[in-house]
Structure 1
Amino acid sequence: MTNSCGPRVHTAYGHRHALTESVLARAELLLRHGEAGAALPAFRDALAPARDIGAPLLEARATEGLARCLLPTDPAAGLAHLREAEAIYRRIGARIWLGWRRFGGGKPAPACHSGTRHGREG
């Protein structure tokens, strides 16, 4: 079966998707090592391409990362991003956000310490 978009479109999408994932991975690493100041612009750098390529899971992850960076210093902005990420997760049917309600009083717990695996009891 041939797709009318052609292989170049899919290749370009794949490269942008992979690049966005790598920027997110770098941002997560920075945040986990306590470098929220460096992670914040990296999450912002991932957000625009995630939206441009129509990758809502990447968009939600970037938005959640912004929230996690901002919550300690700007709780209002952090909470706004957290709510936006939660709305995206709900819209696409992801269950990752469920752990936020259970751990940390509405703040996202680090994935490796939350006691859940992708929102399911682990």
Structure 2
Amino acid sequence: MKKKHIIFSLLIPVILGLIGYGVYWAFFDMSRLPKGDLITEKSSPEGTYTLKAYVSSEGATTDFAVRGELNFNKANKKPKNIYWNYHEEKANIKWIDENTVVINGHVLSVPNETFDFRRR
């Protein structure tokens, strides 16, 4: 009987963890965003990064959204999605310095900060 309680108490957190990760992967993972169409790109002052902005629309039932992709020009790393905002069709990108970018009024410290409207 005690063995069943131990197995059950270990199995429940594993199942809940898998369900939680599945929800995150399906609805919140920024690496799964739609590609979209390139609308603009701007390089950082020293050329370390290039931020490419794409506009995406998944059809008649959704509005436009802008995705910002950070490209690493001086490092061999794959591009990283750092910006995702709904109800936008344009991207105003301004680099403040080599590691700070403003996208449509949202200030991000790159490469680590991100903006995702789903997590406000």
Give the number of the structure with larger relative contact order, counting CA–CA contacts within 8 Å between residues 6 or more apart.
2
More helix per residue: 1
TM-score (norm 1): 0.31
TM-score (norm 2): 0.31
More strand per residue: 2
Q: In terms of Rg, which structure is larger?
A: 2
